[in-house]
Amino acid sequence: MVYRRDFLRKPGIAIIVLILIFQIYNAAAQSDNSWRASTQTIEKLSKSGSEFNYYEEKVPSYTLPDVLTTIDGRKVNNSSLWTKVRRPEILELFRENVFGRVPETPYEKSFKVVNLDKKAMDGAATLKQVDITITATGKSLVIHLTLFTPNKTQKPVPAFLLIDNRGPANTDPSRKVKSEFWPVEEAIARGYGMAVFSNADVDPDNFDDFKNGIHALLDKNPRPDDAWGTIGAWAWGASRCMDYLVTDKDIAGDKIAVVGHSRGGKTALWAGAEDTRFAMVVSNESGAGGAALARRRFGETVGRINTAFPHWFCSNYKKFSNNEDALPVDMHMLLALIAPRALYVDCASDDLWGDPRGSYLSLYNAVPVFNLSGTNSVIPEAMPPLNKQVMSGEVAYHIRDGVHNMLLKDWSWFMDFADVVLKK
């Protein structure tokens, strides 16, 4: 005992021991059967934003709304009751309280291929650039859609539609500038079409009192408290791109996946909920207002997102700032709206702001809805290890090492899942 006490009194050795203990703890956390956030990341984020919680032990107790009980108390135990009663109920609750509803203003749309290159990417692909023009109330708006399809694969092909919230530097149609955020070359090599549009074409990502973008064309004033926000508008834009894609002979219209990162991930989920033509939805690190359970109050909260981005959701959502337990929904119910179609949720280990565990639990609690249609989707309640993809039936999940981003590693796993659910 005296030897050990003297040993630890030496400052250099004591520091080494502490470092080793710290490394062993974090290695165990990552090599365990279930992922856990590293202590270092938790402490770093807690110091930079002390008003937000990053500790699991501080997550409050909560009760999720029952996704399989109708408003009048009936238990949903078959796909028919889900499709005819419960799904419409939940969709309406999200329209009224979270994303808002699309106005009924009539509009006209047209498609024009403004550029066609059948030998793009050194002959590997065909490039089409399409202008989707929306006209209403004497005004017009153009959504610029870029589409690559493989030349050496039998057509029509399944495709990914990316809702781009990062800007044109990541989606260069000339392919002189390449980005992991939209890895066209890799997707073409695997037999997928790759489409993209900029969310800014539909609506600007700033609080402009809804005077610009598609709101300027379709909104009716005064705007009601359940009027659509910007995320709802972007999701509507994804559906207008879908309107074109289902007409393109090179694309399998029943095998299109909508993909989004961060705010785009929230948008992809809502687009998939509102538009059942999307055969697969990919939510990449969508966090609060996306896949993460609101009632956990972990990382970004309803109150914070409503304050920082007051234009994203409908006005009614502000009622639930710092009042999450009063929400008639939670985000497992949003994920359930994708069923029985394919759904991929993923997170990043350092992105605790987006609550990876809350996103996984959201998926876990949505799985019973997928199984109403016999998809045989089974995932454990415990999270998978870091960089370990989980696929079962029509659902998939992974948590990748690193920060908030969408990388080729993520896309490779998306395509692995698509190989199973879109190419069957």
Q: Which residues are part of the catalytic machinery?
A: 262, 404
Q: How many CA atoms lie within 13 A of 91 on its CB side?
A: 19
Number of neighbouring beta carbons within 10 Å of residue 44: 13
Residue 185 tokens read as 């070359």
Please report the sign of the dihedral spanned by the C-alpha atoms of residue 61, residue 326, residue 273, residue 233. Answer: negative
Helices within 55-202 (DSSP H only): 79-81, 87-94, 184-189, 199-202
Packing angle between helix 11-31 and helix 2-9, nearest 10 degrees? 90
* Residues facing residue 348 across a β-bridge: 400
| Cβ atoms of 223 and 310 closer than 8 Å | no
- Enumerate the H helices of 65-160 as residue ranges: 79-81, 87-94
Q: What is the residue whose two structure tokens read 């300027």?
A: 216
> Residues near 51 by Cβ (< 8 Å), separated by ≥ 6?
none
Q: Tell me the C-alpha distance between 28 and 269, whole Å.
A: 33
What's the Rg (C-alpha) of the chain? 23
CA-wise closest residue to 109 among 143, 76, 157? 143
Query: How many of the other CB atoms lie within 10 Å of CB of 328?
Result: 15
Q: Is the dihedral of CA 292, 295, 296, 299 positive or negative?
A: positive
Residues in the chain, how many? Answer: 424
